[in-house]
Amino acid sequence: MDAGSRWGILSNGEWAHRYRLSNDAGVEAQLSDYGATIVSIATPDRDGTPGEVTLGHSSLGGYLGSRAYFGCVVGRYANRIRDGMFTLDEVTHMVTRNHGRHHLHGGLRGFDKVFWNLEEASSSGASFSYLSRDGEEGYPGNLEARVTYTLNERSELRIVYEAKTDEATVVNLTNHTYFNLAGGGDVLGHVLSLDADSYTPADADLLPIGVVAPVEGTPLDFREPKRVGRGMGSAHPQMRVAGGYDHNYVLNGSGFRRVAKLAEPVCGRSLEVYTTQPGLQLYTGNFLDGSDIGRDGVPYLKHGGLCLETQHYPDSPNHPEYPSTALRPGEAYNQETVFRFTVE
Ligand code: BGC
């Protein structure tokens, strides 16, 4: 990693920095201590020409004003909590209702909108920490979170998430990078496969209705590689809820395993996703409406990028039947996701 350069200043006088990781295969990732954000990833295409594969802003100002969560770490709880309320160890907690009557992505000032401390930096990685205080956005307990990014010569960008708490709380951390392997246009022609036999159907507010349903026979089935746009126009009720995909997949298997592959047939770039997490939210940028202006002054439009958010299921604190997101004193939160960039 390079020594980091000043990137932009906040109204309180604090500087945000930008750091660069690169490998001999021509992959370059840029990170910031603001939101522990992936600000850019450039990878070579089939002809060896490097190009941007994520959505994002060129300046810090773009990130400050955006609600799109480009590239950042989302927390303390990524995704939705119904009515901004949950009961843990017989205590009911209210968290910020920043999404209608629900809680989304950690609240008004989630982990994406705070500064992280650069803890360690080496030629191939960087580690950021953030202390989320007891009561922040309504969450109980002081949570010490740490996110470590490394890039290796196999072009694997590894993200390790760690946390500990001094009081029982809930934690669900993810990274919210929007990928567009062609570097522009929409992602409807990208080819996706997901190792998931089932998903959690959502209600009109995109919260799980509480059942786990098979993907078989629905447009949500990505068990075989399929164009992202293929099922988009389907009359299936789940496709009308979100104007595209905004669904949590129940990933097959457990432990660290490959769960997804995204490929763009024209430029030849592809991305494999490995994770320890039980779920993955496929979000196809349905709410991008041109109000976020990208790096080259190009407005980001609907389906201009897609997120593969490895995480626990939405609203888990209210679903005891889902894998638990509770973290208690003395326990260690530890999750890992790898984005591996290849060409074919
Ligand atoms: C959610 C979307 C939300 C988006 C915000 C995604 O993770 O699933 O519903 O609109 O984040 O950019």
DSSP for 86-101? EEETTEEEE----BTT
Kindly state if the Cβ of 55 falls inside 6 Å of ligand 1: no
> What pLDDT is attached to residue 3?
64
Q: How far is the CA of 125 from the centre of ligand 1 (A)?
A: 28
> What pLDDT is attached to residue 48?
97
Nearest-angstrom CA–CA distance, 71 and 52: 13
Task: Assign 162 to helix, strand or coil.
Answer: strand
Mean pLDDT of 266-285: 98
The pLDDT of residue 20 is above 60: yes
Kindly state if the Cβ of 177 falls inside 6 Å of ligand 1: no
Respond yes or no on whether the N-terminal peptide bond of residue 101 is cis (omega within 30° of 0).
no
> What pLDDT is attached to residue 11?
84
Task: Assign 262 to helix, strand or coil.
Answer: strand
Q: Positive or negative CA dihedral for 333, 160, 247, 131?
A: positive
Q: What is the pLDDT of residues 97-126, one digit of tens each?
A: 999 999 999 999 999 999 999 998 887 899
The pLDDT of residue 61 is above 80: yes
The pLDDT of residue 10 is above 90: no
| Residue 206 CA, closest ligand 1 atom number | 9
| Residue 69 CA, closest ligand 1 atom number | 12
| Residue 242 CA, closest ligand 1 atom number | 9
Q: What single-letter amino acid sits at 31? A: L
Question: In what helix (H) or strand (E) does residue 60 lie, and over which residues does it extend?
Answer: helix 60-65
Mean pLDDT of 241-267: 97
Which pLDDT band, with edges at 50, 70 and 90, does 12 fall under? confident
Question: In what helix (H) or strand (E) does residue 61 lie, and over which residues does it extend?
Answer: helix 60-65
Q: How far is the CA of 167 from the centre of ligand 1 (A)?
A: 28
pTM more than 0.95:
yes
- The residue written with tokens 């290796």 in the block is 152
Question: 49, exposed or middle or buried, with CB in 10 Å at 0-12, 13-18, 19+?
Answer: exposed
274: tokens are 């490995």
| 79, 200, 283, 307: residue to mutate for ligand 1 pocket, most atoms within 8 A of CB | 283
Count of CB atoms situated within 10 Å of the CB of 103: 29
| 72, 246, 313: residue to mutate for ligand 1 pocket, most atoms within 8 A of CB | 246
Backbone angle region of 6, left / alpha / beta, with phi > 0 → left and psi within -120 to 50 → alpha? beta
> What pLDDT is attached to residue 271?
98
Kindly state if the Cβ of 112 falls inside 6 Å of ligand 1: no
Nearest to 281 by CA among 203, 183, 211, 176: 176
The pLDDT of residue 326 is above 80: yes
Percent of the chain at pLDDT exceeding 70: 99
Kindly state if the Cβ of 178 falls inside 6 Å of ligand 1: no
Kindly state if the Cβ of 68 falls inside 6 Å of ligand 1: yes
Which pLDDT band, with edges at 50, 70 and 90, does 4 fall under? confident
Q: Are 199 and 250 in contact (CB under 8 A)?
A: yes
Q: How far is the CA of 299 from the centre of ligand 1 (A)?
A: 18
Kindly state if the Cβ of 287 falls inside 6 Å of ligand 1: yes
Nearest-angstrom CA–CA distance, 320 and 211: 12
Q: How far is the CA of 316 from the centre of ligand 1 (A)?
A: 16
Question: In what helix (H) or strand (E) does residue 198 lie, and over which residues does it extend?
Answer: strand 198-200
Residues whose CB is less than 8 angstroms from the CB of residue 157 and which lie 6 or more positions away in sequence, other chains included: 21, 27, 29, 38, 41, 149, 150, 151, 338, 339, 340, 341
Cα 223 from chain centre: 21
Kindly state if the Cβ of 281 falls inside 6 Å of ligand 1: yes
| Beta bridge partner(s), residue 311 | 279
Kindly state if the Cβ of 300 falls inside 6 Å of ligand 1: no
> What pLDDT is attached to residue 214?
98
Count of CB atoms situated within 10 Å of the CB of 237: 11
Q: What is the pLDDT of residues 166-215, one digit of tens each?
A: 999 999 999 999 999 999 999 999 999 999 999 999 999 999 999 999 99
Residue 111 DSSP one-character state: G
| 66, 69, 306: residue to mutate for ligand 1 pocket, most atoms within 8 A of CB | 69
Cα 29 from chain centre: 16
Q: How far is the CA of 204 from the centre of ligand 1 (A)?
A: 14
Enumerate the active-site residues: 176, 309
Task: Assign 132 to helix, strand or coil.
Answer: strand
Q: How far is the CA of 91 from the centre of ligand 1 (A)?
A: 28
Cα 262 from chain centre: 15
> What pLDDT is attached to residue 257?
98
Which pLDDT band, with edges at 50, 70 and 90, does 1 fall under? low
